[in-house]
Amino acid sequence: MFYILRHISLRIWATVLLGGMISLWILPVFLPPIGLGWSLVPALVIMVVVFMAVGWFLNRLGLSAIERFIREATTWERVGAYRGAEEAFNKATGILDSFLLSPIVKRKESAKLAARLARFCLARADKNHSSETFIIAYLKSHPEDEEVAENWLQQVESHGGLKTEHYELAFRIGNAQQENTIIQHLLARFYLSEGRTDFPALQTYRQVLSEGSNQAVDIVKHLAELFLRDGRADEWALRIYLRAFRLSGERCRLLRGIAACVHWLHETERTTHLLQQARKLLVSLDEMQLKKLREGFNPPGPEPTEAKISAQLKVSITLWKVVRQIGSSFFNVITSAALELIGRARDAINLIKRSRRAKLILEWTMITVLAIGVITLMVNTISYLIRSKRALYEKEKTIEIAVTDPFTLQVAAYLKPQDAERYVKYLKTKRLDAFWIKRRGKRKVWYQVRVSHFANKASARAYGKSLKAEGIIDDFYVANYERP
pLDDT of residue 81 exceeding 70, the answer is yes
Q: Are residues 29 and 134 in the same domain?
A: yes
Q: Is 454 helix (H, G, I), strand (E, B) or coil?
A: strand
Q: Are 413 and 428 part of one and the same domain?
A: yes
pTM of the predicted model, to two decimals? 0.50
Calculate mean pLDDT across residues 310-339: 70
Residue 90 lies in a domain: yes
Distance CA 481, CA 471 (A): 23
Could you tell me which residues come within 8 angstroms of residue 102 by beta carbon, excluding any fewer than 6 positions away? 7, 55, 58, 59
**What distance in Å separates the CA atoms of residue 389 and residue 16, rounded to the nearest whole number?**
25
Cβ burial 346-367 (10 Å sphere, 16+ → b, else e): eeeeeeeeeeeeeeeeeeeeee
pLDDT for 146 equals 83
Same domain, 336 and 282: no
Residue 361 lies in a domain: no
Average pLDDT over residues 396-416: 68
Domain boundary among 281, 301, 321: 301
* Cα-Cα-Cα-Cα dihedral sign, residues 337, 342, 347, 348: positive
**Per-residue pLDDT band at 395 (split at 50, 70, 90):** very low
Of 22-36, 88-102, 118-132, the range with the lowest mean pLDDT is: 22-36
Q: What is the largest CA-CA distance in the chain?
A: 111
The total number of structural domains that make up the chain: 5
Contact 76, 85 (CB under 8 A): yes
Burial class of residue 441, CB neighbours in 10 A (0-12, 13-18, 19+): exposed
User: 3-class secondary structure for 155-172?
Assistant: HHHHCCCCCHHHHHHHHH
CATH of the domain at 427: 3.30.70.1070
- Find, among 38, 122, 48, the residue nearest to 82 by Cα: 122
- Please indicate, yes or no, whether residues 311 and 413 belong to a single structural domain of this protein: no
Residues shown for the chain: 484
* Same domain assignment for residues 288 and 264: yes
Residues 404 and 393: their CA atoms lie apart, in Å, by 20
CA distance 244 to 251: 8
On whether both 228 and 239 belong to a single domain, the answer is yes
Give the structural domain span for 343: 303-354
pLDDT at 152 over 60: yes
How do residues 200-228 score in pLDDT, each as one tens digit? 788 788 877 876 656 677 788 888 888 88
pLDDT in tens, 428-482: 888 888 888 888 877 788 888 998 888 888 888 888 888 888 888 888 888 887 7
pLDDT for 263-301, tens place per residue? 888 888 888 888 888 888 888 888 888 888 878 787 775
Residue 162 lies in a domain: no
Residues 108, 121 contacting (CB under 8 angstroms) = no
Give long-range contacts, CB 8 A cutoff, 24+ apart: 72-79: 72/431, 73/120, 77/120, 77/123, 79/459, 79/462, 79/463, 79/466
DSSP letters for 109-131: HHHHHHHHHHHHHHH-SS--HHH
Please tell me the predicted confidence (pLDDT) of residue 398.
43
Residue 108 belongs to some domain of the structure? yes
Same domain, yes or no: 119 and 252: no
DSSP symbols for 40-95: HHHHHHHHHHHHHHHHHHHHHHHHHHHHHHHHHHHHHHHTT-HHHHHHHHHHHHHH
Domain end residue (candidates: 142, 160, 185): 142
Residue 462 lies in a domain: yes
Residues 133 and 32 in one domain: yes
pLDDT band, very low/low/confident/very high, at 34 (cuts 50, 70, 90): low
Residues 420 and 398 in one domain: no
Q: Are residues 454 and 376 in the same domain?
A: no
Instruction: Tell me if 167 is assigned to some domain.
Output: no
Residue 81 CB partners (closer than 8 Å, separation 6+):
452, 454, 459, 463
Query: Same domain for 8 and 88?
Result: yes
Contact 181, 213 (CB under 8 A): yes
- Does residue 195 lie within any of the structural domains? no
pLDDT band at 311 (very low <50, low <70, confident <90, very high): low
CB 233 within 8 A of CB 264: yes
Q: Which of 84, 108, 142 is the last residue of a domain?
A: 142
- Asked if 10 and 67 sit in the same domain, the reply is yes
